[in-house]
Amino acid sequence: MRSLEDELFPSTPGKVKIERTHTINRQFYRCFASTSTMFLWALFLIALTASYLSFQSFVDSGSRYFSASWGGIQWEKQVRNSAQISRSDDIRNGGGKMSVLVTGAAGFVGSHVSLALKKRGDGVVGIDNFNNYYDPTLKKSRKNLLSKNGIFIVEGDINDAKLLAKLFDIVAFTHVMHLAAQAGVRYAMENPNSYIHSNIAGLVTLLETCKSANPQPSIVWASSSSVYGLNEKVPFSESDRTDQPASLYAATKKAGEEITHTYNHIYGLSITGLRFFTVYGPWGRPDMAYFSFTRNILQGKPITVYRGKNLVDLARDFTYIDDIVKGCLGSLDTSGKSTGSGGKKTGPAPYRIFNLGNTSPVTVPTLVSILERHLKMKAKKNIIDMPGNGDVPFTHANISSATHEFDYKPTTDLQTGLKKFVRWYLSYYGYNHGKPIN
Ligand SMILES: O=C(O)[C@H]1O[C@H](OP(=O)(O)OP(=O)(O)OC[C@H]2O[C@@H](n3ccc(=O)[nH]c3=O)[C@H](O)[C@@H]2O)[C@H](O)[C@@H](O)[C@H]1O
The pLDDT tens digits of the residues spanning 234-262 come to 999 999 999 999 999 999 999 999 999 99
Number of domains in the chain: 1
pLDDT tens sequence across 309-348: 999 999 999 999 999 999 999 999 999 999 999 888 999 9
Average pLDDT for the chain:
88
Longest Cα–Cα distance in the chain: 103
pLDDT digits over 105-123, tens only? 999 999 999 999 999 999 9
Is 241 a domain residue?
A: yes
Which structural domain, as residue segments, surrounds residue 237?
Answer: 73-86+94-276+321-357+396-411
**8 A C-beta contact, residue 274 and residue 223:** yes
pLDDT at 55 over 60: no
104 CA distance to ligand 1 centroid (A)?
20
Point out the residues that are catalytic.
249
Q: Is the confidence at residue 30, as pLDDT, over 90?
A: no
Residue 387 in any domain: the answer is no
Q: What is the pLDDT of residue 25?
A: 45
- What value, to the nearest 5°, has the Cα angle with vertex 176 and ends 252 and 401? 70
The band of 29, judged by pLDDT with boundaries at 50, 70 and 90, is very low
Residue 253 CA: nearest ligand 1 atom is 3
Residue 340 located in a structural domain: yes
User: How much is the pLDDT for 161?
Assistant: 98
Per-residue confidence band for 96, with pLDDT thresholds at 50, 70 and 90 = low
pLDDT for residue 154 is more than 70? yes
Query: From atom 15 of ligand 1, which residue's Cα is the shortest distance away?
Result: 289
Domain-embedded: residue 422: no
Check residue 42 and give its pLDDT: 61
138 lines ligand 1 (CB under 6 A): no
Q: Mean of the pLDDT values across residues 184-192? A: 97
Q: Is the pLDDT of residue 73 over 70?
A: yes
Q: How far apart are CA 261 and CA 265, in angstroms?
A: 6
> How remote is the CA of residue 229 from the centroid of ligand 1, in Å?
13
Residue 373 has pLDDT above 60, yes or no: yes
Distance 132 CA to ligand 1 centre (A): 19
**Best mutation site among 280, 288, 321, 358 for ligand 1, i.e. most ligand atoms within 8 A of its Cβ?**
288
Does the beta carbon of 361 sit less than 6 angstroms from any atom of ligand 1?
Answer: no
Predicted confidence (pLDDT) at residue 8 exceeds the cutoff of 90:
no
Domain contains 285: no
Query: Does the beta carbon of 392 sit less than 6 angstroms from any atom of ligand 1?
Result: no
Beta strands in 172-217 (DSSP E): 175-178
Residue 129 burial (10 A CB sphere; 0-12, 13-18, 19+): buried
- Say which CATH number the domain at 135 has: 3.40.50.720
276: Cβ below 6 Å to ligand 1? Answer: yes
Q: What pTM did the predictor assign?
A: 0.85
pLDDT of residue 389: 86
Mean per-residue pLDDT for 304-312?
A: 95
Identify the band that residue 357 occupies on the pLDDT scale cut at 50, 70 and 90: very high
Instruction: Tell me if 118 sits within 8 A of 140, measured CB to CB.
Output: no
pLDDT at 6 over 90: no
Residue 376 has pLDDT above 60, yes or no: yes
Residue 30 forms part of a structural domain? no
Cα(318) to ligand 1 centroid in Å equals: 9
Is ligand 1 within 6 A of the CB of residue 324? no
Give exposure, 265-276, as e/b (b: 16+ Cβ within 10 Å): eebbbbbbbbbb
Tell me, in angstroms, the distance from the centre of ligand 1 to residue 40's CA.
Answer: 59
Model confidence at 164: pLDDT above 80:
yes
Residue in 94, 159, 82 with CA at minimum distance from that of residue 122 = 82
> Is the link from the previous residue into 215 a cis peptide, with omega within 30 of 0?
yes
Lowest mean pLDDT across 42-46, 73-77, 392-396: 42-46
Residue 332 inside a domain? The answer is: yes
Give the whole-angstrom CA distance, residue 274 versus residue 357.
Answer: 10
181 in contact with ligand 1, CB cutoff 6 A? no
Contacts of 176 (CB under 8 A, 6+ apart): 100, 101, 102, 103, 206, 210, 217, 218, 219, 220, 221
Complex-level ipTM beyond the 0.95 threshold: yes
Q: With bands split at pLDDT 50, 70 and 90, how would you rate the model's confidence at 34?
A: low
| Structural domain contains residue 306 | no
At residue 13, the pLDDT reads 33
Q: Quote the pLDDT of residue 69.
A: 79
pLDDT digits (tens, 9 = 90+) for 118-145: 999 999 999 999 999 999 999 999 999 9
**pLDDT, mean of residues 36-62:** 53
Of 391, 158, 356, give the one whose Cα is nearest residue 273.
Answer: 356
Q: Are the C-beta atoms of 191 and 361 separated by less than 8 Å?
A: no
